[in-house]
Chains A and B, each alone.
Chain A
């Protein structure tokens, strides 16, 4: 299991990783073997939310596009050449500004992005893939953010975290620990920290007057004692917000969209 320090801190705000050996020893002897403890997001800088205004075919290449990217009031609009198949007008993504750092998609080393020419066209920065942001191995496509993201926001700090790998062979009978909330409760007990359960009650602004358009038929009352159903209308399917995409990726899960992953 890949456990995120940031995610744990939602429930145990006083938790810190501290000395890895101490953490390892405490958890080893009380729960299970601790594997790698990996700092994330180190070295990333100058990462800004940008919106692709236009994406014209590059005159000298069949897979490259010359894009005009709106980087907000502070940075204005920049021309960036992008080779990803999913680049298109109105796409919101993460841009690394010239002088900023990302991870090399294959070696993982920190590399600096500079303004340069790409086949005769100016490119002032780079639109990033999730591999270049240290989220996972995918680097053929660029990251997609929801359209209501704040354009121009510097998001470099959002990638900082520490991931603690915990071997789960030792507790198959502890389903209570198979989640960050459950692990936070366990860590709270191990490290004697206050556990805060966040408010999870949904607040409804209005109720539908008419009957649900969804029909559910219960065919086997013996094996299904209870069900609940809800319809949500006027939902717009979008990528999940950046902080959630990062949290899911660090936990080893591939983000899909805002309907699949609720938080």
Chain B
């Protein structure tokens, strides 16, 4: 079976930690992002049903602040979380593995 995945990473192209970064600190940052996103989703779904709940909206904004900080750090240090977050001017890290469905990414 042809396996050309991570060819760019293995070819020695460098960014902060060598291609799409998946070291322990990046895994830790991404875990924090997953946790805050999970809370945001629940809060947003609640607000869909109760759009006038001031307390929920305040909670939402607090969580969004946390998320934005994490995303900025991850985009900078680990590679883009979305197609819009590729910070490097020399590398297209968006296509770097591991992909979310692989065990290594979880």
Do A and B associate with each other? no
- CB within 8 Å of B: which residues of A? none
